[in-house]
Chain A
């Protein structure tokens, strides 16, 4: 089982600033890494797959990077609608998710 660990648990950032979220895998997952955004009462929304490929209709301010065991989601120029919980997920092995990072308004 591949264990995904996200940091920090909570990130406080001001609107207009940049947010950097981290995700670490317990073993290499190559580039088989996705990021999701989830707002209260809603289903997750795919943002990034293949570590760095933006999903359909995802704004360019969202970018992903990394390979192997270390990954980063960067959100530039934070908008009010970006404050949510973010999950990483690996699909190199049986799918597994990180525990999430809550992005809150500073």
Chain B
């Protein structure tokens, strides 16, 4: 079945770095845009970043621009998020999510279960 499974979350000190992964299965990964969406403790949802189906285009929310890097490996059906210069307000569950291609189709049909990231000293 269609599935996204995140990994790589954990506890990291302020200013530290972490790399999240999301392995896709059950669909043709290389045909879809992929996103990261996060949810802080008892908070709502916040879009973080998107990467086009071929990796050629990447866009970020202002809150993470310059600190986070989204990438993908279509041969391994895997999405990545390199997060650095972490701050307290980056504490959240990070979800990977699939959308159709094209910015006017960026709603999220498939979600992973999420990877928790806690920024704490």
Contacts and interface: CB of A to CB of B under 8 A. Distances in A.
Interface of A: 32, 34, 36, 42-46, 49, 55, 87, 89, 91-92, 94-100
Contacts of A94: 47, 59, 61
B45 A43 contact: no
A98 B59 contact: no
B88 interface: no
A98 B107 contact: no
Contacts, number: 51
A46 B108 contact: yes
Report the contact-size class of chain B (Cβ under 8 Å from the partner). Answer: 20 to 34
Contact of B106 (A44, A87, A91, A99): A91
B109 A44 contact: no
Contacts of B105: 91
Interface in B90-114: 95, 103-109, 111-114
